[in-house]
Structure formats: C-alpha cells, structure tokens
C-alpha cells in the first residue's frame, strides 16, 4: 500500500499550533500518513517532520530585511527540492503565506494539489487578490464563515469547517482554581498581558503594556498583572523587559487558563483577541510595527479594523490601538476606563456572542481533518 504524504507549511506560532492540531486529527483518521514541512515545536510534537523551524525566521527581525530576503530565497529553493524528492500527494498551507505564495505556485507547477487551511482572508487581509489566489488553490477549509463566503464568491471550492480556537481555547481550570495555581489573589483584579506569539511582537509591544500597567497602578494599586508567555518567545527576553520597566508582574507559560481568569486582557490584533472573545474576557487589542516600514503603514491605512473579532463583525467590538495611537498613555487610559466601568465590560462580553455563528460549533479540527483526508484520497486516486 502506498503511504500518503502531506507537505504542511506553517509560518508563525498560531499557524504552527493550528497545524499541529490538524496533524493530530489526520493521524487519528490514518495512522500511516506521512507529514513533513515547515513549522515549529507544536507541529514537531504532533509528528510532523520539520524541514525548517519557523522560529529561525523570527530571529531575522523584519522579514523584509535584506538578510531575511536572502534566507527566504534559499529556503524556497530547499523546499522546492523537497517537493521533487518526496513528491507529496498534497501541499497543505496553514496560515499567512510568509513566502508570498511562492510555494503554492511551485506546487502547482509540479502538479501537486494545494489545500489551504486558515487563509489570510480569515483575518481580513484586504491585499489578497482573489483571481490569483483561486488559480493556486484546489480547496479551502474555511475557519470563519466570512472567509468561506469570500472564497466561494471568488470561485474557489471552499467549505466551512469552523475555527480551531473553538476547540483549542478551552481552559483546564476554573477561574478560582486558576488564580490559586498562578499565585494570584482572588479578591483583586487581574490584567493579563499577551504580547504575541513572536519575539519581534513581544519586543515591540511588551514595554508599552508594562508601562501602561505601571501607570494604572497609580490609580488602582491593587491591580495584579500577569504575562501570558507564548511557546515561541524566550522567557529571558521577557524578563529583561520586565526588569527594565520595573513593573511587578508574573510570567506564566499558559494562555487559556490565564486568559479566562482575567478582568481585562491586553492582546495583539491576531488570534489572541479571538481567544479572549471565546473565553468572554474583556480585551484591548494592540498593533505596532516599525514606522520605517512604509508599505506596512500604507496597508494599515486601508483597513477599517485590525482585531479579528472586529473584522468578522465589521464593527469596533474591542478597542484597537494601532501604530502611532499605540502608546503607553493611550493604553493606560483605555485600561482604566474598562477596569472602572463594569457596564462597558459587560456590554463587550455580551457582544462576543455575535461571533458564534462566524466561528462554528466545536469539532472544527476533526471536520478539517476529514476534509483534508478526503482531498488526499482524491489526489492519490487521480
């Protein structure tokens, strides 16, 4: 019997997590499937043989740098060689295409079917050219209703499977037990800082978060702070930032148990905002990148919303502080407003229910795995 082979490509911490969950789902359906590709620790632990660890890209800083561009070109060449050598039956792209769709185009020229899970459209990427996108993709497993409908309107074979965070954003402990586990006082408010799943994000956003926390303690001295430390971010980097800012805060490698106990979460505009919404935690979303990145600034100026919950509902569900507006003073002001206004927090939590239709029912990962398995069978029998 021929062993089915999947090349899986993820590009950041979120897509690595989603890819790993999908890989586990695929193995539950077919223990013989061979998976290899690009990802990080989560995918490796799930049985995907890594050709390259995406954490090495993070050390380059801005991907658009000259050094980063050279590394990307060499990496694309290596992956192209791997496609020729291993001849996967399916290329499965997960998350944003850090290689600018080049791998998808290469796969098509080599007659390898391409499936996409968690496309850039799911987070409102307005720069996706649908006609070009449709030519590269054979099938889309849509994680949001919004994304699925756009793909279908663009002529793609897309099916709605639901968002993986519906399955993954599930704490193991209740709020009281989590506070005890993390050494947080039960009676005092907790602000959770989630500075992202990449080192470059943490370096840019954590100082702003910490200084804002220090400011609000001059008004609300009992506020406790905890940092949710992502797997891909080195604790030493975070500890240096904490020491430099001189703010008392716990550092905890846990996301969802910590997030669900918070009175307020300060998150990035990526998937962490969606996690807060699923756990019904009031949140503020931040986004900041180097101002020298002119193209990035132009892109941001064309987007009405950046936080994923806001994109999906096309309204300002959670506050966003972006680029020049993302300052410690502005953040501290917004944090104080929400911590002191119980009704505003309650209204935000009530509005989160509007996302349920967009994100689907539990079981999304297994539905996606079934869809990938079906596509794989078609590819092998063609």
Give alpha helix (H) positions in the chain.
13-29, 41-45, 55-58, 66-86, 102-109, 130-136, 145-153, 165-168, 175-181, 199-216, 235-245, 256-261, 271-278, 294-301, 308-313, 328-340, 342-351, 356-359, 364-381
Domains of the chain: 5-163+360-381 (3.40.50.2000), 173-359 (3.40.50.2000)
Contact status, residue 178 vs residue 258, Cβ threshold 8 Å = yes
- pLDDT at position 1 is 60
Q: Rounded to two decimals, what is the model's pTM? A: 0.90
What is the chain's pLDDT, residue by residue, as a tens digit (382 residues)?
678 999 999 988 889 999 999 999 999 999 999 999 999 999 999 999 999 888 776 655 444 455 566 777 888 888 889 999 999 999 999 998 867 788 899 999 999 999 999 998 888 776 678 888 899 999 999 999 999 999 999 999 999 999 999 999 999 999 999 999 999 999 999 999 999 888 888 888 999 999 999 999 999 999 999 999 888 788 888 999 999 999 999 999 877 999 999 999 999 988 889 999 999 999 999 988 765 443 454 455 456 788 999 999 889 999 999 988 999 999 999 999 999 999 999 999 999 999 999 999 999 999 999 999 999 999 888 7
- pLDDT at position 13 is 85
- pLDDT at position 291 is 56
In the three-class reduction of DSSP (H, G, I as helix; E, B as strand; rest coil), residue 377 is classed as helix
For residue 181, how many other CB atoms are within 10 A of its CB? 15
- pLDDT at position 372 is 97
């Amino acid at each position: 019997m021929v062993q089915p082979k999947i090349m899986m490509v993820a590009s950041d911490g979120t897509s690595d997590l989603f890819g790993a969950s999908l890989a586990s789902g695929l193995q539950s359906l077919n223990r013989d499937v061979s998976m290899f590709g690009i990802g990080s620790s989560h995918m490796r632990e799930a049985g995907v043989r890594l050709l390259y660890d995406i954490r090495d890209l993070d050390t380059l800083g801005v991907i658009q740098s000259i050094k980063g561009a050279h590394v990307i070109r060499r990496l694309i060449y290596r992956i192209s060689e791997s496609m020729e050598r291993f001849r996967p039956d399916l290329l499965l792209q997960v998350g944003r295409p850090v290689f600018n769709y080049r791998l998808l185009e290469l796969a098509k020229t080599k007659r390898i079917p391409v499936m996409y899970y968690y496309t850039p459209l799911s987070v409102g990427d307005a720069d996706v050219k649908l006609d070009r996108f449709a030519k590269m993709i054979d099938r889309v497993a849509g994680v949001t209703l919004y994304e699925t409908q756009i793909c279908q309107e663009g002529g793609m074979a897309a099916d709605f499977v639901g968002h993986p965070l519906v399955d993954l954003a599930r704490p193991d402990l209740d709020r009281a037990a989590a506070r005890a586990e993390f050494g947080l006082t039960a009676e005092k408010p907790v602000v959770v800082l989630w500075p992202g799943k990449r080192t470059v994000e943490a370096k840019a956003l954590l100082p702003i978060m910490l200084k804002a926390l220090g400011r609000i303690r001059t008004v609300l001295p009992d506020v406790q702070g905890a940092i949710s430390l992502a797997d891909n971010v080195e604790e030493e980097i975070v500890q240096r930032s904490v020491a430099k800012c001189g703010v008392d805060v716990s550092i905890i490698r846990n996301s969802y148990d910590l997030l669900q106990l918070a009175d307020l979460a300060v998150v990035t505009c990526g998937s962490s905002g969606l996690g807060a919404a699923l756990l019904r935690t009031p949140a503020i979303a931040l986004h900041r990148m180097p101002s020298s990145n002119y193209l990035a600034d132009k892109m941001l100026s064309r987007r009405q919303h950046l936080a994923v919950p806001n994109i999906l509902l096309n309204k300002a569900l959670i506050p966003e502080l972006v680029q020049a507006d993302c300052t410690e003073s502005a953040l501290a002001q917004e944090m104080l407003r929400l911590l002191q206004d119980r009704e505003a927090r309650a209204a935000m939590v009530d509005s989160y229910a509007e996302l349920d239709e967009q994100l689907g029912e539990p079981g999304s990962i297994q539905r996606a795995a079934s869809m990938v398995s079906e596509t794989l069978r078609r590819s092998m029998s063609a």
